[in-house]
Amino acid sequence: MPRFIAIRVLEGLATLLVSSFLIFGALYLAPGDPLSYLIGNRTLSDEAIAALREQYHLDDPFLVRWVAWLGDVLSGDLGRSITYRDDVLSLLGPRLATTTLLIAYALVVIVVIGVGLGIVAALSRRALSDVILAGTSIGVAIPSFVAASTLISVFAVGLGWFPAFGPGDGFFDRLYHLTLPVIALTLASGSYVIRVTRAALREEAARDQVKAAVARGLPRGTIIGRHILRNGLTPVATVVGLTLTSLIVGSVVVERAFALDGIGALLTEAVAKKDFGVVQAICLLLITAVVIVVLIVDVIQVVIDPRVRERQGIAA
Amino acid sequence: MTELLEVEDLVVELFDGAEWVRALDGVSFTVAPGEIVGFIGESGSGKSTAVNAVARLLPASARGSGSIRFDGRDVLAFRQRELARFRSEELGMVFQDPRASVNPVTTVGEYVTEGLRKTKRMPRAAAYARAEQLLGEVGIAEPAQRLAEYPHQLSGGMLQRAVIAAALSTDPRLMLADEATTALDVTRQAEIAAILRAATRERGLGTIFITHDLELAGALCDRICVMYRGRIVEQLPAEELHGGARHPYTLALLRSRPSIEERMPRLPTITAADREAFLTAPAVAAGGVGGASASEASTSEASASEGGAR
């Protein structure tokens, strides 16, 4: 097991290294000069411009800059923001809290309501199952930006039940403020989770093993819990993990729509202003989050399914 | 001898998505304690349907008529709770593929002890001790170690022994073995058959053994029911299978196996005319063990009363 985790961590690090190269390369090739934002409307002497280019390492060759940036990142220095004239790290700090809360809230909703309704749909009678399924058919088809503007106009502006923007103060006020964004964020992915959970559990319920358990006269709760849910957990864990990665990426759109001061809002702003340091740092952060989620899903799979352990050649 | 299981004039119809198919057409048989009754016949002849009907495992949509009595009690009248008790306390079932009937994500020990722990509320340690003893009885070496292993770590034959041990764990009185040896190689088949035989004799179980293997049925069973198209066309003591069989279908079945004594360039096949003859020939009941009576080849009307599992 430790060996398996070590290999997966190394793979994750390799992924990060390659992605850092791609992110850095993409921004290097992107049109536009960050210096023009730095200078603005002022006129500077050639010496001053050269000094600025020197300060931001704009004249060094690509690979040198990449290695230097990577070295800085590893030592905890994410660079400086050209527009905010501040360390990227201190810009990220407070915004990270908002985004983390948003995603954590969305994850809880996905697991509790998404997986929960999936279980209900899989085990309930036909009529209820069909109603849930029909709901998810609509849900999966609604992109988060459409959901966001609809929710704002109906529940925030029209009915006035929820605030339309801002992250709120204090924990519960924050949750209250984040409710609409979370709905917008989870509508499609949550519907998808419901469908996958239902399908996975239906498949498990149809297995001979479940028939054998019924033939043994086991209590219904035991059959559902230990034979259907337990065995259906592997695909469900996988899809929840994948959904989480899409939530991380999707939060960019939702934060923008609800004017939440999170990482996503910072990213869109930084892209518009060619604030390369910030864009690089956030991209790297998002990719790190995805790599960690994938790693966790892999480990969960190995823990819950001995057959995966066997395939991977891991001793329990 | 008092009968453990009496099935009388059982008719079962299953809906295959387009029409109702008569899977059992007036089947009657009995099983006595300590007796192994073999069911032979080709795929789709109704062997499994008969066994599943006894355990009330047919799909909820199944309909039919007739009666199934276990120890004098009407199995078809059982309500949910009685049915669960009947299955957990009186029945042991062994299916064809042990890999499919054992939960692959939990250990063999969890599987074998599940019945004891969940339906008899036996403490875990006691259940494991009992399971260890049972695995020893069905001929598994190092039972304690096997209990800690996962199903995929055991061979098919070994796993089927564990399935039998699990079925025996709750001390059932009726064992239903639905092609329990079909998925195994010949040596394992003989071993599993021997285990079933020993369990039947020592514990006084009534056992129904479904198989395609005529030789195995002849060697293992006390009595054989030959099924064709949802009917029992012939019932006879196992030792009379070779030589004593009279129904044309049984004879055709016996003929259609390769012989080791003589060279056969081509095995006889069953023709449409044969099929007609099988259906029109009267059912044969040899005055055998337990005074079993074969069903008449009559088609009683299926009533609306339920015949399958709820």
**Does the CB of A153 have a partner CB in chain B at under 8 Å?**
no
Give the span between the Cα atoms of A182 and A147, in whole angstroms: 10
**Does the CB of B180 have a partner CB in chain A at under 8 Å?**
no
Share of chain A above pLDDT 70, in %: 93
Which tens digits make up the pLDDT trace of A223-250? 888 888 888 888 888 888 888 888 888 8
φ/ψ (deg, to 5) at B294:
-80, 155
In a domain, A233, yes or no: yes
Q: Which of A125, A126, A207, A216 is the best mutation test for B, with the most CBs of B within 10 A?
A: A216
pLDDT lower than 50: segments of chain B: 287-310
Contact A219 B84 (CB under 8 A): yes
Q: Which residues of B touch A231 (CB under 8 A)?
A: 103-105
Domain that holds residue A211: 98-274
pLDDT for the residue numbered B36: 93
Q: Which residues of B touch A301 (CB under 8 A)?
A: none
Given a cut of 90, whether residue A71 has pLDDT beyond it is no
Contact B55 A219 (CB under 8 A): no
Q: Where are the domains of chain B?
A: 1-90+173-310, 98-171
Structure letter (DSSP) for residue A305:
-
**Does the CB of A305 have a partner CB in chain B at under 8 Å?**
yes
What is the number of domains present in chain A? 1
Q: What is the dihedral of CA B168, B171, B172, B175, to 10 degrees?
A: 30
CA nearest B58 in A: which residue? Answer: A211
| Secondary structure of chain B as H, E, C letters | CCCCEEEEEEEEEEECCCCEEEEEEEEEEEECCCCEEEEECCCCCCHHHHHHHHCCCCCCCCEEEEEEEECCEEHHHCCHHHHHHHHHHCEEEECCCHHHHCCCCCCHHHHHHHHHHHHCCCCHHHHHHHHHHHHHHCCCCCHHHHHHCCHHHCCHHHHHHHHHHHHHHCCCCEEEEECCCCCCCHHHHHHHHHHHHHHHHHHCCEEEEECCCHHHHHHHCCEEEEEECCEEEEEEEHHHHHHHCCCHHHHHHHHCCCCCCCCCCCCCCCCHHHHHHHHHCCCEECCCHHHCCCCCCCCCCCCCCECCCC
Cβ–Cβ pairs < 8 A, chains A and B: 80
Token couple for A34: 């960050």
In a domain, A3, yes or no: no
Q: Which of B57, B89, B102, B103 is the best mutation test for A, with the most CBs of A within 10 A?
A: B103
Which tens digits make up the pLDDT trace of A154-202? 887 778 777 776 666 777 777 887 888 888 888 888 899 999 999 999 8
pLDDT for the residue numbered A307: 76
**What is the DSSP track for A88-118?**
HHHHHHHHHHHHHHHHHHHHHHIIIIIIHHH
Q: Which residues of A touch B308 (CB under 8 A)?
A: none
CA nearest B110 in A: which residue? Answer: A226
**Does the CB of B14 have a partner CB in chain A at under 8 Å?**
no
Contact B150 A304 (CB under 8 A): no
Contact B106 A226 (CB under 8 A): yes
Token couple for A66: 């990449």
Q: pLDDT averaged over chain A?
A: 83
At the topology level, CATH places domain B1-90+173-310 in Rossmann fold (3.40.50)
pLDDT for the residue numbered B39: 93
Give the span between the Cα atoms of B196 and B190, in whole angstroms: 10
Pick from A35-39, A64-68, A94-98: least confident: A35-39
**CATH code of the domain containing A119:** 1.10.3720.10
Contact A216 B93 (CB under 8 A): yes
Token couple for B146: 């096997």
Residue B276: count other Cβ atoms within 10 Å of its Cβ: 10
Q: Which of residues 221-250 of A touch B (CB under 8 A)?
A: 222, 226-227, 230-231
Provide the pLDDT confidence category of residue A34 given band limits of 50, 70 and 90: low
Q: Which residues of B touch A214 (CB under 8 A)?
A: 57, 87
Contact B105 A209 (CB under 8 A): no
Residue A1 half-sphere exposure toward CB, CA atoms < 13 A: 9
CA nearest B57 in A: which residue? Answer: A215
pTM more than 0.80: no
Give the span between the Cα atoms of B224 and B235, in whole angstroms: 6
pLDDT for the residue numbered B188: 84
pLDDT for the residue numbered A32: 67
- What's the gap in Å between the CA of B84 and the closest CA on chain A? 4
Contact A219 B89 (CB under 8 A): no
Provide the pLDDT confidence category of residue A38 given band limits of 50, 70 and 90: low
**Does the CB of B118 have a partner CB in chain A at under 8 Å?**
yes
pLDDT for the residue numbered B1: 53
Q: Which of A125, A203, A208, A209 is the best mutation test for B, with the most CBs of B within 10 A?
A: A209
Give the span between the Cα atoms of A158 and B303, in whole angstroms: 60
**B147 neighbors B108 (Cβ within 8 angstroms):** yes
